[in-house]
Amino acid sequence: MGNPEKGEEPPAFSICPRCGARLVTKNLWHSCGTFTLEGLFPKSEPVVLDLARKYVALLHTLGACGASVPGRSLVAITYR
Ligand SMILES: [Zn+2]
């Protein structure tokens, strides 16, 4: 594994060939399917979806995550 403190690049994400999910390791179990943030909050007030979008965007600006993967009932944030 790459060590960012030593200037090493982290290893690339593994991409699921069926759904395109970005995974931290090859063959990592996940809920294979195409999910969206919008699909997680179909009955919620619009402010809930707005908050989720802002939260994911905030994590990306911090450089803390490589990908956000909406699942059937969650959002997984992957970090390298
Ligand atoms: Zn998949």
Ligand 1 centroid vs 24 CA: distance in angstroms? 13
Which residues are 76's β-sheet partners? 69
Domains in the chain: boundaries = 4-78
Residue pair 72/35 in contact (Cβ under 8 Å)? The answer is yes
Distance from the Cα of residue 37 to its chain's centroid: 11
The answer to whether 80 and 23 are in contact (CB under 8 A) is no
Q: How far is the CA of 56 from the centre of ligand 1 (A)?
A: 20
Taking the centre of ligand 1 as the mean of its atom positions, its distance from the CA of residue 78, in whole angstroms, is 15
pLDDT score at 46: 95
Q: How far is the CA of 47 from the centre of ligand 1 (A)?
A: 29
- What is the C-alpha to C-alpha distance for residues 29 and 19, in angstroms, rounded to an integer? 12
pLDDT tens string, the chain, 80 residues long: the values are 555 567 777 677 888 899 888 788 888 888 888 888 888 889 999 999 999 999 888 888 877 566 666 777 888 777 76
Ligand 1: distance of its center to the CA of 15 in Å?
A: 8
